[in-house]
Amino acid sequence: MKRYFLPALTLALLYVSIGNAQQYPIMDKIANKVIQKYQNSTCEQLWQQKANKQPPSPEEQKAIQILKGDPQMRAAFINQVAAPIANKMFECGMIP
């Protein structure tokens, strides 16, 4: 499974479009918040969050429901956050 992660991520990144971010301004703000969370967290913090998985906050649950209901917005969100999150996880030894 891990073998296919990086090629799939690379393929997803090829489809990133600036137009998607402009099409969904609220999603863009949510994506930026997620990216900032990863960029501002230390590796130790990320490992602790992974070990102590807590249920999503009401705000996060609402965002998840919106993304589940709109496949195009979900694709735009994933395209925007995939590279920064994957890079941080790679730096922290969370993915190969």
Residue 96 inside a domain? The answer is no
The span from the CA of 77 to the CA of 75, in Å, is 5
Residue type, 49: Q
The span from the CA of 48 to the CA of 18, in Å, is 33
User: How many domains does the structure of the chain reveal?
Assistant: 1
Residue 53 inside a domain? The answer is yes
| pLDDT given at position 22 | 66
Domain extent, residue 19, equals 2-91
State the maximum Cα–Cα separation within the chain, in Å, rounded to a whole number: 36
| pLDDT given at position 16 | 46
Structure token pair of residue 19? 């137009």
pLDDT tens figures, 4-46: 544 554 444 444 444 444 688 989 999 999 999 999 999 999 9
Residue 47 inside a domain? The answer is yes
Structure token pair of residue 12? 């997803």
pLDDT tens figures, 56-88: 889 889 999 999 999 999 999 999 999 999 999
The span from the CA of 5 to the CA of 59, in Å, is 28
The confidence band for 54, taking pLDDT boundaries of 50, 70 and 90, is confident
